[in-house]
Amino acid sequence: MCSEVNSLDLGGDERTLFSITPLCPLLLLLQVTPLLIDRAESPMGPQTVLSASFPSVVSYHKDWGILSEAEARKTQNALQNGNLLEVVSAVLETVRRASSVPVNIAVTGNSGNGISTFINALRGIGNEEEDSAPTGVVRTTLTRAHYSSSHLPNVVLWDLPGLGVTSQSLEDYVVEMQFNDYDLFIIIVSEQFSMNHGMLAKIIENMGKKFYIVWTKLDIDLRSTTLKGEPQKIIRDSILENLQKNRVSKPPIFMISSHESSWHDFPKLRDTLQKDLSEIRCHGPLQTLLYNFEKIINDKVAYFQKEIATNSFPNIQNADDLTESLNVYRLSFGVHDGSLRQVAQRMGKESLECTAITKSQDLPAFVRGDWALKFMSCILLKICLCILSWFPLLGGWVVHFEHFVRRRKQKRVLEIVAEYTKTVLRKILKDSLSQARNQHGNSTTGSFSGGSHNNWVSFSQVKEI
């Protein structure tokens, strides 16, 4: 006689009763559904659009930075429904608006180091021109003054009185000069890197602000040096040594002549400044978007996990078929091949890169390599459950365990797709920042970056970010 076993994980509906003979292990080997079937991604019908059954359970997040409330709600709904193209549009609009946000740059240092002369050079004007910062051999800047330039749109350069102009302490100087108002600092140095410079750099670093060290009057140093070896290297090493004494991380260091703005490190300084201006403007708004994006994804995962916990698998006809489950979740989160291709094209990627994106075999391979899924889908486990089901007292336990395994597999696939979706969103943010920099002729990778911009995100990056 055949032993009757409930809901063995053979790839069919869990409600079906299977009659299994004493040759159950052999039958199981022949009938077991593979972890993922190698087949082309089948077209998704309306019944598989999981987003359609996803209610608006995610509360509206008020802090969306630059976006208006209407735009924020539209973006949130788009992400909930897996419409990444709409999300990309919101990201690019955020970057566009952020690119015109004013940036305040403070230029400071010891009195007599040529702070005002440097500001004029950075603005592309001479010391004698109208509206130039006053310069001279005596102290000319006694209160802070601000300047603008057509070379640096939406940038305010603040000429601060040099350290030592007044008798106040360094801490009082920081308060009086309102350091909290500035987005970036340029510490001007010449002749020597003093203790004040090191302490000032430490204070700025502790505030979490970016700063540069700019050694001016390099032309004078090169003409009058008695140092053996390369003067620039000696000066740079001396600055780094003093910074280390104050436990300050290595900042960008530039050695220039304010009278020769096309020589030495001045062009490099301009390029670095343009890159950092984009990051300063966009970093906060993009971080706000990233926080909201990940919160929405987490809320969506929590909703689906509740459904799975009740053995409800919306729009998934066969909960044991991980290929079907994978495709349904990918469609729900908007990371299926068609969506990724459109996103890549919207981000201005080359056609060859778009082709690489659409090769979705990377994700199934990643799922196959997941140890938890491999264990829960292995033939040996199924054989053990089949044998245990022969014992009347264990039959009920086997059924409950099979339900548990099925739920765990669904949750694991859901987690993999959700993590990949976050990776795609991070990549969108990184590339949008890169686009902003490219508008200024610089494509250097920034704080969102985790790799080269030459290759768009692949599924194998899920665990790397």
pLDDT at position 91 is: 92
Q: Domains of the chain (ranges plus CATH)?
A: 12-96+282-461 (no CATH), 103-279 (3.40.50.300)
pLDDT, averaged across the chain:
74
Whether 199 and 248 have beta carbons less than 8 Å apart is answered as no
pLDDT at position 465 is: 32
| Whole-angstrom distance, CA of residue 94 vs CA of residue 102 | 15
Length of the chain, in residues: 465
Q: What is the pLDDT of residues 263-280, one digit of tens each?
A: 889 999 999 999 999 899
Q: Which residues of the chain have pLDDT under 70?
A: 1-63, 136-142, 164-168, 221, 223-229, 349-391, 393-403, 439-465
Judged on CB neighbours under 10 Å (0-12, 13-18, 19+), 262 is exposed
Q: What is the pLDDT of residues 23-53, one digit of tens each?
A: 333 333 333 344 443 434 444 443 334 444 4
Whether 124 and 149 have beta carbons less than 8 Å apart is answered as yes
| Whole-angstrom distance, CA of residue 423 vs CA of residue 434 | 16
| Whole-angstrom distance, CA of residue 260 vs CA of residue 435 | 31
pLDDT at position 154 is: 92
Whether 302 and 111 have beta carbons less than 8 Å apart is answered as no
Confidence (pTM): 0.71
